[in-house]
Structure 1
């Protein structure tokens, strides 16, 4: 099965530079970002499992000025976030790339949530 596997355990082909390949085929730079990419998110905050999270693109919180133009930046890889009705109880920093566009561009919406607690009406 050498080189015929994929997933959290890699390809098992002896090559180590691309071991952190995400489900969508991209290679991450950190083990944390890699592991987060393989988490299966919950469908709703009423999910009976402990994983009350989803993967979503996030906006960079700091102001960015590119070529003299105010810009907003969004992660090119999704990060773990708590589902609506839940809030983070533990977080960690992950390394992700960002794509920036002029601030007046209309787009849908960097910190990843590692564990969540939900409100009484949701849990």
Structure 2
């Protein structure tokens, strides 16, 4: 099976520069975002696994100016976030890549998330990743 595996243990091919390959075959910038990329998310916050999280693209809170144009940016690496109706009880910061588009662009993170993961990285910034979530009574 040498070189024919993937996941948290890499490809088992002896090469170490690509060890942080995510499920979408990007190389993560750090161990935390790499490990988070392999978490299997829950389908709903009523999931019996009590893992009330999903992998999601996150919008950068601050605006970035790229080539003189104000831009909005979305992560090209999935970030662990609580499902709707659940609240984070423990978080951490991870450094991830963002793809940026002009402010007036109609691209939103909900528009084809799989396509945002294929985009180029324009900037690297931190994002808040949720490590543990608590379900609220209004959970959907």
TM-score tier, shorter chain, comes to over 0.9
How many residues of Structure 1 are paired with residues of Structure 2 in the alignment? 123
In structure 2, stretches of 5+ residues that fail to align are: 110-126
1:118 maps to 135
CA drift of 1:54 comes to: 0.6
CA drift of 1:69 comes to: 1.8
CA drift of 1:50 comes to: 2.0
For 2:98 and 2:15, how far apart are their aligned partners in 1?
Answer: 27
In structure 1, stretches of 5+ residues that fail to align are: none
SS in 2 for 1:33: helix
**What's the TM-score, normalizing by structure 1?**
0.92
For 2:139 and 2:103, how far apart are their aligned partners in 1?
Answer: 35
CA drift of 1:4 comes to: 2.1
For 1:74 and 1:111, how far apart are their aligned partners in 2?
Answer: 13
1:61 maps to 61
2:123 maps to none
CA drift of 1:120 comes to: 2.2
1:74 maps to 74
1:23 paired to 2:40: no
For 1:7 and 1:71, how far apart are their aligned partners in 2?
Answer: 34
1:87 maps to 87
SS in 1 for 2:74: strand
